[in-house]
Every structure is written in structure tokens, then in C-alpha cells.
Amino acid sequence: MRKWISFPQKQGTASRQAHADFPEEAIYEREAGRSGFFGPATHFHHQHAPTGWSEWQGPLRPRAFDFNALKELAPESPWAVPSLLHNASCKFRLWDVKQPMKKLARNADGDDLLFVHDGAGELFCDYGHMTLRDGDYVVIPRSTNWRIEPTQDMRLLMIEATNDSYQLPEKGLVGNHAIFDPAVLDVPQIDDAFKAQYSEDEWQVEVKKHGAVSLVTFPYNPLDALGWHGDLAPVRVNWRDIRPLMSHRYHLPPSAHTTFVAARFVVCTFVPRPIESDPGALKVPFYHNNDDYDEVLFYHAGDFFSRDNIDRGMVTFHPAGFTHGPHPKAFQAGREHKKKFTDEVAVMLDTRDSLEVGEAADAVENPDYVYSWQEKE
């Protein structure tokens, strides 16, 4: 057994509480915390913005990628799409689905989470049929057979829980129905559309295991279930069904927006919400060292209020090991309470283990992003 060394102390000029009522001479608060906002933390008050570096050398740096510029993301198989970011516990990929899948996919390496960034389509799987639209999350359990027929060109964000499964976060004091009620989760249906695709024609399944793909041929369509019962199935939730936790007097940490949890990472969703109205409350994300997690943000839609020059379809990557937080204009706008409501939808991946950047992502990196916190004249 072990426990954190804990002895709360206070030195010098500091606020009474985190993220609120900063001393005027010490408006730059920095949180140094452990275990992804759940462990011990200290809040520093600085004379200068903690992101005010003038030069940066070496591989550890904040990075931004314009994934809109990626090419060749439309292979027939999802397993042919390169990993953009990855470690032993997860793979982060984008896949453009422009034609109906001619083979079934089956991931024997772990659960898949699909997020529909653009387009719409029909998902067929062992459990039945469901219609997908932009903003849908779909959890596909490990070793499920599935395929997609797009009705509009689709771009899917795919996050694999390698050798793991997706679960819902523990919601604690706010109860099981907070953030989204499990009653909104949809499952595939054995409906007329599913029955219409029964076939005695030959079908093949591409099974991915340990990163290698095996091809299994059947003299019929394996998606031939007549029914099922149980509590294991793909589930769908749209970001529009998420009702975020809010506090008008306190800026909640990103962990309050957790949507799905795996053993070594979490997926959070930022959706439109009122901005804190209390005069003393911080109104933008706080500067922080989240020193145990790498942070990835995929920008889906809207105006990303803590970032400058970031458009939908782009990704920022902040590895653990340095302070990050709002850009200067966003920080000042927050102090002046210029905005009363956020207008952004973003998917965040926080990983307990360091992520590697794939070659395809390297090719579309903005190398100047590291200097985007510098004050402009």
C-alpha cells in the first residue's frame, strides 16, 4: 500500500481557493497536479504567464496538426489507415469513408470508439443496424463484425482501446443521470434494414489481431442474427445529448467532461455551455502541468475560445512535462468576460502513457504552434 505525501501549505501571495479571486498582482495561476486532476496539486501565482517562453529547442513541445490536409485516408479497410498518434494502450486515427465497405471489419485487439466528424451513414454489425450522423460517438466492442454504408462522405475519428474496453465514468455525487442519462444510449436494431442485408452470397471479414490482418471467408453474410439479448452491445451517443456539468463560480477541470474511460486513458467531450459569471471566477482553462497525462484535442466544430488560429478538423497535442493553457488573447478576453457562452465542440484524449506521433501526422504539423503563446505587438 502507498499514499501521497500530503501536507497542505501556503506561502506568499495566493488566492484562498483555486481558480477564483486572484490577487491583482498575481493573476497568472498555474496548477501543478498529479493523477489527472485527481491527485495532490499546488497552485502557483506568477508575475508572468507560465507560457511566455521566447525560444524552444528539443522534441518536447506543444504541437498542432492540420488533419484537414491529410491525404489518402480513404482505403477500403479501416485497418489500412495509419495511426496518427499511438502508444501501447490506444491508437488515434482518421478514416474517410466514401464507399460502402465491401468486407466486414473485426478488431480482435480491443474496443473501437468511432466519432463522426463529417457525413452520415448506416452501420451494420452483429447486433443489427443503426443510422449515424455527425457528432455521433459509437462504441464497438472488441471482436464485433461491422461495416458502414455512407449516405454522405464520412470522416471518422477512430480511437482504439488496445487490449482494453470502454466504460462510463463514475459520476459520484452528481449521480448516474448527470452529463448524459444512460437512457439516451442507442443500440443497433434487428430492423427491416438489417433483415434486407441477409445474404447467401460470399462475404469476407478482415480480422485485426496484434496489428496484423487475417482474411476470413464465409459462403454467406455473417451478419445474419435473428435476435439477441444481454448487456453487451455497441452503443451510440451524440454530443448534442451531453449536458455538461457547470458552475457559475468555479471553472471545472477537464475531467468533469469525461465521456468514456479505459484503463490507461480517458475521452472527454467539450460542448457549448455558459461561461462562469461570478466576477472572481476564472473564465478560461487554467494554466496547468498535467504531468502524468498527454493531452490531445480534436476540434470538431465552433469557435475554440481558448485557442487562436485553430480550425475544425485540427488537432493540438500537449505532451506531459510542461505548462500549457489559454493563448494570450483568450486569457485577456476571459478577464474582461467578453464572452458569456462557449461555442465549441471538441474531443479530448488524455493518455496515462506517452504518445508517439506517426509519420502522417508529422507531415501536417504547424512548426510555429510552439510560439503561438507569444504576445503579439
- Residues with catalytic function: 251
Q: What is the DSSP letter of 188?
A: -
Residue 277 to residue 347: CA distance in whole angstroms = 25
The bridge status of strand 203-209 relative to strand 104-107 is: parallel
Residue 28 to residue 80: CA distance in whole angstroms = 45
Helix H or strand E encompassing 29: strand 28-33
Residue 324, marked binder = yes
**How many whole angstroms from its chain centre is CA 25?**
36
Q: What is the DSSP letter of 42?
A: E
Residue 19 to residue 334: CA distance in whole angstroms = 12
Query: Quick check: 221 and 201 in contact, CB under 8 A?
Result: yes
What cell was used for 178? 448527470
Closest to 178 (Cα-Cα) out of 241, 106, 88, 262 = 241
Residue 15 burial (CB count, 10 A): 17
DSSP calls for 205-260:
EEEEETTEEEEEEESS-S-------SS---EEEEGGG-B----SSS---GGGGEEE
44 beta partners: 30
Closest to 63 (Cα-Cα) out of 376, 332, 321, 333 = 321
Q: What is the DSSP letter of 108?
A: S
Residue 258 to residue 271: CA distance in whole angstroms = 11
Binding residues for homogentisate: 324
Question: Binding-site residues, please?
Answer: 288, 294, 324
Binding residues for Fe cation, by number, are 288, 294, 324
